[in-house]
Structure 1
Amino acid sequence: MDLTSGAFWAALGSIILANVVLSGDNAVVIALAARSLPPQQQKKAIFWGSGAAIVMRIVLTLIAVEMLKWPWLKVVGAVLLVYIGVSLLQEDEGEGGEAHEAGGMIAAIRTILVADLVMSLDNVLAVAAAAKGDNVLLVIGLAVSIPLIIFGSTLLLKVMERFPIIITLGAALLGFLAGEMLLTDPAVTSRFGELSHEVVNGAGAVGAVLVVGLGMWLQRRARARAEAAEQA
Structure 2
Amino acid sequence: MEIFTSAGLLALLQVIVIDLVLAGDNAVVIGLAAAGLAPDQRKKAILVGIIAATVLRIALASVTVQLLEIIGLLLAGGILLLWVCWKMWREIRANSAQDAEGQNGEGTQAPRKTFFQAATQIVIADVSMSLDNVLAVAGAAREHPTVLVIGLILSIAMMGIAANFIARLLNRYHWIAYVGLAIILYVALNMIYRGTLEVWPYMAAATGG
Tell me the TM-score normalised to structure 1 length. Answer: 0.64
Q: Assess, with a 3 A threshold, how the Cα gap between structure 1 residues 130 and 188 changes in structure 2: closer, same or farther.
A: closer
Identify which range, 56-65 or 81-90, moves more after superposition: 56-65
Counterpart CA distance in 1 for 2:18 and 2:185 is 23
Between stretches 139-148 and 22-31, larger displacement belongs to 139-148
Q: How many residues align?
A: 185
Structure 1's 16 and 74: CA in aligned 2 closer, same or farther, altered over 3 A? closer
1:41 is paired with a residue of what secondary structure? helix
Following the alignment from structure 2 to structure 1, what is the Cα–Cα distance between the partners of residues 86 and 53? 21
Distance 1:125 1:159, change over 3 A: same
User: TM-score, structure 2 length as denominator?
Assistant: 0.70
For the structure 1 residues 87 and 182, does the alpha-carbon distance in structure 2 shift closer, same or farther, using more than 3 Å as the test? same
The Cα of 1:32 is off from its aligned counterpart by 0.8
Mapping for residues 40-51 of structure 1, pairs under 5 Å: 40-51=40-51
2:54 aligned residue: 54
Sort the Cα spacing of 1:107 and 1:136 in 2 relative to 1 into closer, same or farther, 3 A. farther
Identity %: 35
The counterpart of 2:200, out of the listed 181, 188, 212, is: 188
Structure 1 residues 55 and 192, CA, compared in 2 at 3 Å: closer, same or farther? same
Give the direction of change, closer, same or farther, for the CA distance of 1:23–1:183 in structure 2 (3 Å limit).
same
Following the alignment from structure 2 to structure 1, what is the Cα–Cα distance between the partners of residues 137 and 193? 23
More relative contact order in 1 or in 2 (CA 8 Å, sep 6+)? Answer: 2
The answer as to whether partners of 1:15 and 1:142 remain within 8 angstroms in 2 is no
The answer to whether residue 95 in structure 2 is matched with residue 95 in structure 1 is: no
Pairing 1:111–2:127 present: no
Gaps of 5+ in 1: 194-232
Task: Say whether the 8 Å CA contact 1:52–1:113 is kept in structure 2.
Answer: yes
SS of corresponding position for 1:184: helix
Note the alpha carbon deviations across 1:102-150, whole angstroms, 9 max, x for none: xx22332222222122123332234335655465664455235433211
What is the RMSD computed on CA atoms of the aligned residues?
Answer: 3.3
- Pair 129,71 (structure 1): closer, same or farther in 2 beyond 3 Å: closer
Q: Which moved more, 1:82-91 or 1:141-150?
A: 141-150
For 1:94, the aligned partner's letter is A
Range moving further from structure 2, 27-36 or 129-138: 129-138
The 5-angstrom pairing of residues 25-36 of structure 1 reads: 25-36=25-36
Instruction: Say if 1:77 and 1:13 are closer, same or farther in 2 by CA, change over 3 A.
Output: closer
Q: Distance in 1 between matches of 2:19 and 2:78?
A: 21
CA distance in 1, matches of 2:62, 2:132: 13
In the alignment, which residue of structure 2 is the partner of 1:173?
Answer: 183
